[in-house]
Structure 1
Amino acid sequence: MTYIEKLQALRELMTAQGIDAYIITAADPHISEYLPAHYKAIPFACGFTGSAGTLVITHDFAGLWTDSRYFTQAETQLKGTGYELVKLKVPHTPEYISWLNEVLPKGAKVGFNFQLITVALAMELKNSLQQNGISVTDLDLISSIWIDRVGLPAEKAFLIDEAAAGLNISAKIVQVRAALKQNGAEYHFISSLDDIAWLFNLRGKDVDYNPVALSFALITPNEAKLFIDEQKLSGNDMEQLNQQGVSLLPYLEISNALTLLPNDAAVFIDPKRTCFGLYQLLPKTNEIIFGINPSTHLKSEKNETEISHIRKAMLHDGVALTKFFKWLEDYLGKEKISEWSAAEKLAALRAEQASFVGLSFNTIAGYNANGALPHYTVTPESDQEIIGDGLFLVDSGGLYRYGTTDITRVMPVGNYSQQQADDYTLVLKGLIEGSKLIFPAGTKGYQIDSICRKPLWDYTINFGHGTGHGIGFFLNVHEGPQTISPANIDIAFKPGMVNSIEPGIYRPGSHGVRLENLVLCIPHSSTEFGDFLTFETLTLCFIDTTIVNKSLLETYQVSWLNQYNQMVFDQLQPLLSVEEAEWLEEKCKAV
């Protein structure tokens, strides 16, 4: 079926069901960022492959609501599909709710799959529409037309031991129960896969780029239940889980388990990481306590064992990146190198490193205009040869048994313009300001965000994405609860949190610049004015200085840059060949 035919089929089903509007979300029952192929309904329906978007279909309009990261991509991918791009004014907000209230008459009915929407969003949607006399209903129309839909993944999962995680499963369960008690809850339902992975020291391959396994968890006063297909686990792993006080049940048994909770149970759930369909199965007499999953807070503060392992991962990653940029410099202009082949080469070099598991996300390799697309994904159709003059942006990361990495660098190719040099330098200033920041305990991400943006704001420049996100320990490359962004999120930075700092400048049709390092939040000092924190940079890859406009840098910023590049050389040099070390030494020379 073509996209037009699929849209027509959905509208026919809407008519048959008496539905005036149908919503398709980018989600699975675990509210994952990266979806198993079974749940990639938006690419199936319209061809859009971005990670953030919502389809809304009425009988005379079909639109994709997405944010500025994907405007160019969406306009290209939606051509000829019957869908139109609707540009979000505020990222990550359901602006289509207001649109539905405007275009639908009183008495209209809106359908969506309750299994594929968060509790928080479903309640907002339901309450807003009902105020205008519009009802909602649980409806899965996609399954009726997705004839060749793949099944749920059945990849093998495995446990990581205490020596790697720094804490055993039973100790983590004790921590979660203590947090539940503080919140007045006895029971806790968890559906977010990375929270479950952390709690049970479980890793898997069910989702691209995220080392997680499809599962649910239910913590009760006396039991810790893990709902997972037992065929995913080895006999030894199942025995270890049992020894740690974990009961194993079939994955699909979660629905029945929720309905059987005691009628007077106080149940803690995360409304932004739990689907509405499963939430509705809880007994109506239960006291529901909403909040961020305790495990989300706990896993964000890395323990000393995790931190020591993350440092090893950074060394492995730094070696691969050094080899990659040397290869790129050596062979550009001598053989055909494109965005695609460069990304493949980097992946191959990472795969040579000890403890490598896979990529932590799909590599963004954008030359010139493609680099101006913050979430660009190279395809055979968009693949561009890296030749001539300009800037090549590479945003990439690896999953290692020792940790997760995420880094962005920009390499000048041939000649570059003054504007490109200035943009590069301003972005570098933003990275430096965030990296060297000293701040009082209790500081939130939105406060740090403004400090990173100020060097760009001084030139009336801004960027449309957050400045940084949390990073998991051998887990998801995007992790909460903390973030560095303009959003007024009431989460303070704490020691042990690992975060990215990645300011950028994007000039559509011309070029993009983004520089990204990972940093560890650490104590700085205690004074009469309170406790202060700072960041330690973890990422080990040189920052190219050939394109820097030194006149835009303050003396202390030049000093930071030189010290950082010297640190990179000192730590990586013992792991490189003589030729590679000599090349890196030249790249790390002080400016």
Structure 2
Amino acid sequence: MTYATRLAAVRDSMNQQGLDAFIVPHDDEHLGEYIPPHAERLDWISGFNGSAGAAVVLADRAAIFVDGRYTVQVRHQCDPALFEFRHLVNEPFLDWIAVELQAGSRVGFDPRLHSQSWHRAAVARLAAKNISLVPLAQNLIDLHWHDRPAPEHRPALLLSQEYSGQHSEAKRHRIAETLAAAGVDAQLLTQAEPINWLLNIRGRDIPCLPAVLSFALLHRDGAVQLFADPAKFEDLDLAAHCGKNVSLAPMDGLEQALLALGKQGARVQLDPATANAWSALVLEQAGAELVFADDPCMLPKACKNPVEVHGSRAAHLRDAVAVCRFLAWLDRRLAEPNPEREDEGTLADKLEAFRTEQPEFVEPSFGTISALGPNAAMCHYRHSNGTPRRLGQDAIYLVDSGGQYLDGTTDITRTVAVGEPDAEIAKLFTLVLRGHIDLACARFPAGTGGLQLDALARLPLWQQGYNFDHGTGHGVGHFLSVHEGPQRISPKGSMVPLTTGMIVSNEPGYYREDAFGIRCENLEVVQPADTDGDIPVFEFENLTWVPFDRRLIDTAWFEPKHVQWLNDYHARVWEQVSPRLAGDDLAWLEQATRPL
């Protein structure tokens, strides 16, 4: 089916059900950022396969909404004759619907794919225009997606306390105590990552996200009802691993469990930002009393314990070996005959091969962004979407990649010279790196949120009239999602205080459409700072140990403190990584870490 045919089929179903619009978000029932192939409904209807966005289908028009990371990509992937392109943040799709539809219109949506908070706000927003929001029993895309992939059925993994640092029973009782104190009978958990963290389990249900897709109910006595595919736990002793009072039932058993809580008149807590609207509607209609609060697993999951921090350091050091070996190989390959035989795909494969050789490596932490020249202007570019670009045409190459290791999750971006960068590229690279350094050096009082630190990474660019349209830093999990909350560093970011054990990325960039892209990314862990003052202060401890490309630096755009930071950083890279390299790779590292 062509995309035009797919739109026509969905519109036919809309007409049969008396709908004037249908909303297609990039989400599954768990509302996590990463979704399995069988949930890629937005891709099916539009061709857009980024990690965030939504489409709205009207009777005679359609629009797709994406944020700043995907404004270039969406125009490459979607047919402008079928979809209008809109900015997800600057023009929310509910506002667009309210303008485009007449009073009395009916908007269809799948309540399993939208959060409870979105549903509550959407009902009010559209009601103001006398537009009805209609929950659908069956998703309209599912009616026509005849070659839809089957869900994965890979076995689960029981994560040893050697890696997790804390037994599930201790985690469960710590959080259950807060529920009991608040008079809550049960907590509904809907996202895979907090459930996997709580029970010290992992899985392979989604590429690059080592989690078992599941739902769970955590009761005030610490008992957990886990709803997941039981076949994934065959030959595994879940009860022995998790401790007392953990039961397992199929995913479709959740509805009956929610109905049972409703009949008891239980007080059930859920996070309105992460629990889907369907679960809240089932509970309400069954008679439960809903309590809205943040998912109580999110903050303790984000604050890594000492074992998790130690594991993350070790994982990043092994990852640095893989990335350094790749960059050394790339430089050698550029000096050999016919480097143009390499393209973005073969480069990504080579990097993954080096990671695969590292102990404890499981899989990439996301699809490698391997981007030459103009492709790097798309922040979340995928070389697999078309014909990968070849070496030999461009001045710089951006590679954003990471690994899932049993003891940690990595994420690193390096922009390197593969041709003859001009003075403007060197200036912009240096400004980006300067912002990275300024943020890395930050010290901040307890209670500081990422929103307050974001400008540090942007100021060097701002002062010269440049900016970038994505967040500066996201939280990173521990052998879990490479993107996690509640912490992040962004101009519209979180005011959740950055505190001990939180891991965040530091990744300012600059992107020029149809020309090039630049990004410099390390991961940092928040630690208490040693000061003489009278207030608690935090700082960032670097986790990533890979050189920045000295060939792209114009020191005229640095202050002496930036030169000193970079020289100190490169000295640490040499100290940490050189004992693990040999031969040509070691010689490359010696050159790459020489002082400016």
TM-score by length of 2: 0.96
Matched, 1:571 2:576: yes
SS in 1 for 2:142: helix
Q: Tell me the residue number matched to 1:250.
A: 250
Output the amino acid matched with 2:105.
Answer: A
CA distance in 2, matches of 1:559, 1:458: 22
How far is the alpha carbon of 1:406 from its aligned partner?
Answer: 0.2
**CA shift at 1:265, angstroms?**
2.0
Partner of 2:425: 420
Q: 348-357 or 145-154, which moves further after superposition?
A: 145-154
Q: Secondary structure at the match of 1:217?
A: strand
Note the aligned Cα RMSD (angstroms): 1.5
Contact kept, 8 Å, 2:399 with 2:414, in 1: the verdict is yes
Unaligned runs of 5+ in 1: none
Counting only pairs closer than 5 Å after superposition, residues 266-415 of structure 1 correspond to structure 2 as 266-284=267-285, 285-332=287-334, 334=337, 335=339, 336-379=341-384, 381-415=386-420
Equivalent residue, structure 2, for 1:107: 104
Closer, same or farther: CA 347–558 of 1 in aligned 2, 3 Å? same
Match of residue 521 from structure 1: 526
* Matched residue type, 1:365: S
Change beyond 3 A, Cα 1:404–1:242: closer
Question: Normalised by the size of structure 1, how large is the TM-score?
Answer: 0.97
Offset of residue 484 of structure 1: 0.2
Structure 2 segments unaligned to the other structure (5+ residues): none
- Corresponding residue number in structure 2 for 1:207: 206
User: Structure 1 counterpart of 2:538, which letter?
Assistant: L
Are the aligned partners of 1:4 and 1:81 in contact in 2 as well (CA < 8 Å)? no
Whether the aligned pair in 2 keeps the contact of 1:23 and 1:55 (CA below 8 Å) is: yes
Q: Do the aligned residues in 2 keep the contact of 1:364 with 1:376 (CA within 8 Å)?
A: yes
> Which range is displaced more, 168-177 or 63-72?
63-72
SS of the equivalent of 2:421 reads coil
Structure 1 residue 526: Cα displacement: 5.2
Give the SS at the match of 2:485. Answer: strand
Distance 1:530 1:242, change over 3 A: closer
Residue 174 (structure 2) pairs with residue 175 (structure 1)? yes
Report SS of the residue matched to 1:522.
strand
1-structure distance, mates of 2:536, 2:89: 38
Per the TM alignment, residue 402 of structure 1 is displaced from its structure 2 partner at its CA by 1.2
Q: CA deviation at 1:67?
A: 1.8
Which one-letter code corresponds to 2:278 in the other structure? G
Structure 2: distance between partners of 1:278 and 1:7: 29
Q: 1:75 to 1:236 in 2, by over 3 A?
A: closer
SS in 1 for 2:86: strand
Distance 1:445 1:550, change over 3 A: same
Q: In the TM superposition, what is the alpha-carbon distance from 1:537 to its structure 2 partner?
A: 0.5
Aligned to 2:144: 145
Sort the Cα spacing of 1:100 and 1:80 in 2 relative to 1 into closer, same or farther, 3 A: closer
Where 2:283 maps in the other structure, the secondary structure is coil
- Hey, what's the Cα distance between the residues in 2 that align with 1:274 and 1:380? 32
Contact residue 112 and residue 276 of structure 2 kept, 8 A: yes
In structure 2, the partner of 1:154 is 153
- The aligned residue for residue 134 of structure 1 is 131
1:560 aligns with 2:560: no
Task: Report the Cα distance in structure 2 between the residues aligned to 1:53 and 1:382, rounded to whole angstroms.
Answer: 24
Q: Identity over the aligned pairs, expressed in percent? A: 36
Q: CA deviation at 1:178?
A: 2.6
CA deviations on 1:142-164 (whole Å, 9 max, x unpaired) are: 11111111222211111101111
- SS of the residue 2:480 aligns to: coil
Question: Contact (CA 8 Å) 1:365, 1:377: kept in 2 or not?
Answer: yes
Residues 488 and 394 of structure 1: is their aligned pair in 2 closer, same or farther, counting only changes over 3 Å?
Answer: closer
Q: 2:512 aligns with which of 502, 507, 514?
A: 507
C-alpha displacement of 1:221: 2.2
Shift of 1:307: 0.8
* 2:554 alignment counterpart: 549
